[in-house]
Every structure is written in structure tokens, then in C-alpha cells.
Amino acid sequence: MPILRSVAVLLVVAGLLTSVTAHADDYPSRPVKIIVPFGAGGPTDVFTRAIADELHKALRQPFVLENRPGAGTTIGTDLVAKAPPDGYTLLMVSGTQAVNETLYPRKAYRLMQDLTPVAPLIDTDLVLVVHPSVPAHTVGELLALARAKPGTLNYGSSGPGSNYHMAGELLRNLAGVDIVHVPYKGSTGARNDILSGQIQLLFDSVPTMAPMIQAGMVRALGTSGLQRSPTLPDVPTLAEAGVAGFQATLWVGLMAPAGTPALIVERLNREIGRIVQQPDIKAAWEKQGATPMVMSQAQFAAFMQAQVDKWAKVIADNRIQPIN
């Protein structure tokens, strides 16, 4: 009897494995939803929509974006964390969710436990701009002004924990200056107020700000990557301009609920990696100031954990109060 019982167990396990494999092989067999925890129209939304269109072509099923903004991305992220782990609900993830692991300690999910990294999409530099009325034409002059008049220069962001907020906090931390954070409900309000002079400083994505810089509506002082942006080649990096160790880019990727079959995760990772390396897509994105990212699933998971750890330190060093 024990032998017969063991054989029966093995047959059941084999049947389950066969079922999972078959399910992964015909994936996707119906439309896939991508939850975007931001409002429509921002840079993260634009690049995710482009990937969704290409996945539709490659996998012959619609990949449909659903914007679910609110509570610093935690509403949309929690929705995916609780979704069935079958590959039919995915999450657009960015640096904001990595920040929120520390900033929102009471949220209902844990990013790296309740969701699985799938693949990165793009990485794009931020650019530090000032209103033309600010009497600073270089990063050095801006820092001197901030030190001479502490607490008088305001920088905007699309909200607590956003890429733009944390870039400002990193500048405070590394340069030792007292600049004041002004959070907005989305990036549109911050952009409107830097153009009108209601705030003096702003970190924003290079693709979004480049036209305004070229039109003279704002003045660019530095970019946030390790190398100069091809879109703004005359603008030094902040590290190059004297803020040693500064790096804060806007990256975007996809995650799935924890427990999603590995074969599905790997298939999505492989397809996305192929798509972002297509010459036409790569050229179009680089023209907009975005660099396609290609990583294995394991590499992307390690990258995301490093981002969580980095911003946890910035939050602690700047004594940023948790949001409960």
C-alpha cells in the first residue's frame, strides 16, 4: 500500500506540473491587464503603453492599461498584490514604489514579497531646472544661493515619495542645503508652477522638460545620471557639477503577483527584452531621452532590492516622516 500511495502522489504532482506547463505554453489566452498606479499621460504611462502595444503584436492578445492612481501608487500596487497569480494582471512599477517600502510602513503589502519582478522597460535621467528669475546659472551658484538663504528656495514634486521628491531629498542630503519640498497632487501642478515662478526648482524627466528648456521657459542646471544625457549634451551631470555621488533616475518596469508561474514570468521577461532592443523602438526611445533596460528576471529583482535599500537610507538620513 505505501508503494501504491507514493505512486499516486507522484502521478498527482506530475499532473499538476503538466497543467502548469500547458497553462504557461498557451499564455496568454485572453487579454492581460496592466495596472498603472499613476494618472494617464505621464512619462511612465507613455512608455508602458508602448510596451503594451508591442506585447499585443507579439503575443496576439491585448495588453490593456488601467490607470489606478492614488495614495502615492499604493492603491494600484495593492490591487495587483491581491490579484490572482495567473499572469493576467500585471503592475507598472517605478522608483516610487521602491521608495514607498520605507515611506508607507503600514501599507497592506510588501513589494518584494507580495509581488514578483518581471522585467525592466526604460531608465531616463531627470533634469534639475530653475525658473529664469533664479540668479543661478550653474549648480555651484544654486548651492551657494541655497546656503546663503536657507529655507527660501522651494522645489516641487508630484507628491511624497515620487522620483522628483526623492531627487530633491538626495540633493539636500549630498550637498547639505536647506531647500523646501512643495508636494503637488501629480506632476502637472508642479510644472505649471515652475513655469510661473511660484516655485524656484524642479526635478523632472528629461523627455518632459527638454522642450521647455529649449524654449527658454526654464533653465537647466544639471542632469541626474552618471553620464550626460544625449538629449541635453550641454548640461553637466550633477555629479560632474560638484554633487559627488548623485544619481537618481526614473526607471520603469513590470511586476506580477507573487506566485505567478515562473514560465509565464520568464516568457514575459524574454519578450520584453526582445521588444526594447528592436532598433526602431530603441532609436525612438533614445531620441526622447529614455534608455531601454534589459535584465534577466533575477537581475531585475536584485536591482529593485538595491533601489529599496538606497532610498530607505535617504529617507532615514533626511529624517523624512513616514506616511501612515
Is residue 229, in this structure, part of any structural domain at all? no
Residue 83 and residue 162 share a domain: no
Alpha-carbon distance of 62 to 32, in angstroms, equals 6
Is residue 118, in this structure, part of any structural domain at all? yes
* pLDDT tens sequence across 275-287: 999 999 999 888 8
Is residue 234, in this structure, part of any structural domain at all? no
302: Cβ–Cβ under 8 A, 6 or more apart, which residues? none
* pLDDT tens sequence across 225-236: 999 998 999 999
SS3 at position 161? coil
H helices present in the chain, as ranges: 2-25, 43-59, 74-81, 95-103, 111-114, 139-148, 163-175, 187-196, 206-214, 262-276, 279-287, 297-317
CATH number of the domain residue 70 falls in: 3.40.190.150
Is residue 51, in this structure, part of any structural domain at all? yes
42: Cβ–Cβ under 8 A, 6 or more apart, which residues? 187, 208
Q: Strand pairing partners for 35?
A: 66, 91
pLDDT the model gives residue 190: 94
Residue 182 and residue 291 share a domain: no
User: DSSP letter at 26?
Assistant: T
Residue with cell 548651492: 143
Is residue 214, in this structure, part of any structural domain at all? yes
SS3 at position 292? strand
pTM here is 0.85
> Which residues, given as ranges, of the chain have pLDDT below 70?
1-24, 43
- Domain limits at 175? 126-223
Residue 116 and residue 131 share a domain: no
Residue with cell 551658484: 141
Query: What's the start-to-end Cα distance of the chain, in Å?
Result: 57
Instruction: Give the CA dihedral 167, 218, 188, 124, nearest 10 degrees.
Output: -50
pLDDT the model gives residue 38: 85
Is residue 40, in this structure, part of any structural domain at all? yes
Phi, psi of 21 (to 5 degrees): -60, -45
Residue 119 and residue 6 share a domain: yes
Count of structural domains, the chain: 2
pLDDT the model gives residue 316: 92
Residue 221 one-letter amino acid: L
**Ordered DSSP codes for 75-131:** HHHHHHHTS-SSSSEEEEEEHHHHHHHHH-TT-S--HHHHEEEEEEEEEE-EEEEE-
Residue 155 one-letter amino acid: Y
Alpha-carbon distance of 220 to 210, in angstroms, equals 9
Residue with cell 529664469: 132
Query: Are the C-beta atoms of residues 253 and 93 closer than 8 Å to each other?
Result: yes
Residue 145 and residue 119 share a domain: no
Residue 187 and residue 80 share a domain: no
Residue 187 and residue 38 share a domain: no
Is residue 241, in this structure, part of any structural domain at all? no
pLDDT the model gives residue 13: 47
What's the burial of 316, exposed, middle or buried (CB within 10 Å: 0-12/13-18/19+)? Answer: exposed
Query: Are the C-beta atoms of residues 91 and 256 closer than 8 Å to each other?
Result: yes
pLDDT the model gives residue 114: 98
Residue 255 and residue 119 share a domain: yes
Alpha-carbon distance of 130 to 128, in angstroms, equals 7
Strands 115-124 and 126-130: unpaired
Query: Are the C-beta atoms of residues 303 and 120 closer than 8 Å to each other?
Result: yes
Q: Which helix (H) or strand (E) holds 66?
A: strand 63-67
Residue 201 and residue 179 share a domain: yes
CATH number of the domain residue 147 falls in: 3.40.190.10
Is residue 304, in this structure, part of any structural domain at all? yes
Residue 65 and residue 24 share a domain: yes
